[in-house]
């Protein structure tokens, strides 16, 4: 049995690390061929993840990144199709909702290679988000859909996906959080290197198009951050850096910008923050896993259960709204609720795929 795994962005490297490990430990003789699209091509956003997470290095690195959504997706479809025709895998395995996910799913569907989608069923119900289109299309061409939550499963059923295709396994990001937390504590010195005090800073991440490509929203977010009474540390995504320069915007003095960090350093920055403000789906969940309150700088989220239990708050991109949220004195959030499974999602995914579901 041969599985072609397509990855392209940081969260996918984390998820793939857990499932690849489970497939290898299944002793089923599965051959996994990893295809890296190159969507995240910066060394700090790609290579370091393969090194830290002990993911087998990709057999193929397509080097496609830096263009528009349409340009990247089209080039990826063409290149992935060539690899799939050469390798002829039993399954294509994709993760999440990136352009790499969509491109791989389309390429495989056109040449009748079965598709397995990890993190299926999530919906923000905002079709202006490229990620929403990516996840909806991928779900509707997939043959196995691995959902992380009951709400994701219910959404797929509502959309008419046959129940026998759906497997609710929990969240592989939860698996990763449990597995790598102690490793990060032993190996990462990022807190000392950046000169931070535990639980006395705010962590910010920002990369989504609706924030970075909108000068007004970006200006409002920067203005809101300027009101913080605590130091703010911001590992800055290249997209965000480019837009700040394009718009001529300055980062407030209270904010310390650092380069993108590896996964282990990110874990430590998340665990030791007193508050996280982000537009990343993965970071929203990781905040919950580490009991850190989270502000989501978006109008909606696909991780609705975090909002429902009060672990996460949606914050309008208005300076006064964000400033007011930053002034609130929040304590740790409870992560005892079993929202994302018991931490064995990757093993269940491996079992389903190896067992022929």
Question: Which residues are identified as catalytic?
Answer: 207
Beta carbons of 212 and 234 less than 8 angstroms apart = no
Contacts of 34 (CB under 8 A, 6+ apart): 5, 7, 16, 20, 55, 56, 57, 58, 59, 60
Strands (E), the chain: 2-7, 31-36, 60-61, 91-95, 115-118, 144-147, 166-168, 202-205, 232-235, 255-258, 275-278, 294-296, 312-314
- Compute the Cα dihedral for 286, 183, 205, 229 and give only its sign: positive
- In the chain the first and final C-alpha atoms are separated, in Å, by 14
Radius of gyration of the chain (CA): 20
* Burial tier of 258 (Cβ tally within 10 Å: 0-12, 13-18, 19+): middle
Reading the block at residue 67, the tokens are 């263009």
Instruction: Give the pairing of strands 275-278 and 202-205.
Output: parallel
């Amino acid at each position: 049995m041969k599985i072609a795994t397509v990855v392209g962005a940081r969260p996918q490297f984390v998820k793939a690390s857990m499932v690849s490990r489970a497939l290898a430990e299944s002793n089923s003789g599965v051959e996994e061929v990893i295809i890296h699209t190159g969507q995240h091509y910066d060394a700090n956003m790609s290579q370091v993840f393969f090194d830290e997470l002990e993911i087998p290095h990709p057999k193929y690195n397509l080097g496609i990144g830096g263009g528009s959504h349409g340009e990247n997706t089209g080039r990826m479809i063409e290149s992935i199709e060539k690899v799939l025709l050469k390798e002829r895998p039993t399954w294509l395995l994709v993760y999440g909702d990136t352009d790499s996910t969509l491109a791989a799913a389309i390429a495989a569907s056109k040449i009748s290679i079965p598709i397995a989608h990890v993190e299926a069923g999530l919906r923000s119900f905002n079709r202006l988000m490229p990620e929403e289109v990516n996840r909806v299309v991928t779900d509707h061409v997939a043959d196995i859909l691995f959902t992380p939550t009951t709400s994701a499963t219910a959404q797929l059923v509502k959309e008419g996906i046959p129940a026998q295709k759906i497997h609710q396994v929990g969240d592989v990001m939860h698996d990763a959080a449990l597995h790598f937390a102690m490793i990060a504590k032993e190996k990462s010195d990022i807190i000392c290197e950046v000169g931070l005090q535990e639980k006395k800073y705010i962590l910010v991440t920002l990369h989504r198009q609706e924030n970075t490509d909108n000068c007004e929203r970006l200006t409002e977010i920067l203005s809101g951050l300027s009101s913080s009474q605590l130091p703010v540390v911001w590992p800055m995504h290249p997209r965000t850096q480019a837009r700040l320069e394009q718009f001529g915007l300055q980062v407030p003095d209270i904010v310390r910008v650092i380069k993108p960090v590896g996964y282990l350093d990110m874990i430590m920055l998340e665990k030791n923050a007193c508050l996280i403000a982000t537009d990343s789906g993965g970071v929203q969940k990781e905040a919950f896993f580490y009991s850190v309150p989270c502000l989501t700088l978006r109008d909606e989220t696909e991780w609705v259960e975090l909002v429902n239990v009060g672990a996460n708050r949606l914050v309008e991109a208005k300076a006064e709204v964000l400033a007011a949220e930053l002034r609130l004195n929040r304590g740790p959030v409870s992560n005892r609720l079993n929202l994302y499974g018991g931490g064995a999602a990757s093993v269940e995914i491996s079992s389903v795929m190896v067992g022929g579901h």
